[in-house]
Amino acid sequence: MTNIEGNIYDIQKFSVHDGPGIRTDVYLKGCPLTCVWCHSPESQSFEPDLAWMEIKCIGTELCGLCLEACKFGALSKGEVTKNLKDEDIIYPVVDREKCTVCLECAKVCPSKGLYNTQRHVTVEECMKTIRQDKRYYEKSGGGVTISGGEPMSQFEFCKALAKACKDEGFTVALDTTGFAPTEHYLEILPYVDLFLYDLKHMDSERSKKLVGVPNEKIKENALALAKAGARFQIRYPIIPKLNDSLENRKATAEFCVQIKDAIDVIQLLPFHKMGQTKYQRLGKTYRMNVSPPPQEFMQETLELFQSYGLPAQIG
């Protein structure tokens, strides 16, 4: 099973935000949801993306190999601008309408200023990176988090990776939207110690508008997993004007009460704009014109969840 291949967009070591202890996060590419507030646009598509990172780009005057490699006229010289060192530089401009994502430009880019967001890897290739931090997992109570995108969309690879981690004694957390076949969740359950489980909106029609899918399957899977003995770290992103109404906050808390005995912690996650630059790299439009919720609002929400007897925390 270690030869099973999957598509990832990153492996991040020494993570401390995606489960207990120090962890290695493996990010699988592709997601069936289209959350308007998504902070990882490179995770959305199941296909490769061409990204451009200004800080790594040498400029067309010193390099220009990307312009020569593009056979579709999708790359051209931009205007003279300043780099971070306040030096004059001319960056390439990507015409996304003409770009076929053939990635020939990324192949010749010496600085990786242009790059493919997708990597084909085997389970064993992931394990080689994971094993490097074994001592940190042991000392901190950490392990491996399989994330995305939606990792369950690459179910066979996701399951094989989780099993390989468990076979070597690593704890496994699965960061999921909950939107996958119930039988797949029950099948992977023996290899998962903790589900980082998203609850975005309790109204199904509103859920469909905000994230692209209804929420019946998401709630059904949470209930099925709780009944089967799963442990949860619930994640509720607080997005101003979209899912922060008192009605939805109460409905989310009331749903959590149904699986209370299976929940280790509920994370109330305030909206942030840290993913905005990623949209620029991909040539995509960032649509979130709202500010993070005030600390007072987050404290009020925390107290609301705690009033239901739930183990909630901010962040």
Going from N- to C-terminal start, the domains of the chain cover 5-46+119-314, 50-116
User: For every one of its 315 residues, what pLDDT tens digit does the chain have, with 9 covering 90 and above?
Assistant: 779 999 999 999 999 999 999 999 999 999 999 999 999 999 999 999 999 999 999 999 999 999 999 999 999 999 999 888 899 999 999 999 999 999 999 999 999 999 999 999 999 999 999 999 999 999 999 999 999 999 999 999 999 999 999 999 999 999 999 999 999 999 999 999 999 999 999 999 999 999 999 999 999 999 999 999 999 999 999 999 999 999 999 999 999 999 999 999 999 999 999 889 999 999 999 999 999 999 999 999 999 999 999 999 999
Distance (Å, whole) CA 144 – CA 174: 9
Place of tokens 């010193």: 62
Q: pTM for the whole thing?
A: 0.94
Report the Cα 19 to chain-centroid distance in Å.
14
Report the Cα 153 to chain-centroid distance in Å.
13
Distance (Å, whole) CA 67 – CA 61: 11
| Nearest in space to 18 (alpha carbons), one of 31, 7, 29, 27 | 27
Classify strands 23-28 and 143-147 as parallel, antiparallel or unpaired.
parallel
| Nearest in space to 52 (alpha carbons), one of 286, 287, 289, 284 | 284
Distance (Å, whole) CA 310 – CA 255: 11
DSSP string, 219-241: HHHHHHHHHTT--EEEEEEE-TT
Distance (Å, whole) CA 54 – CA 66: 14
CATH match for 50-116 among 3.30.70.20, 3.40.605.10, 3.40.50.620, 3.90.170.10 = 3.30.70.20
The answer to whether domain 5-46+119-314 and domain 50-116 are alike in fold is no
Report the chain's terminal Cα–Cα distance, integer Å.
36
Residue 182, judged by CB atoms within 10 A of its CB (0-12, 13-18, 19+), counts as: middle
CATH topology of domain 5-46+119-314: TIM Barrel (3.20.20)
Q: Which residues contact 303 (CB under 8 A, 6 or more apart)?
A: none
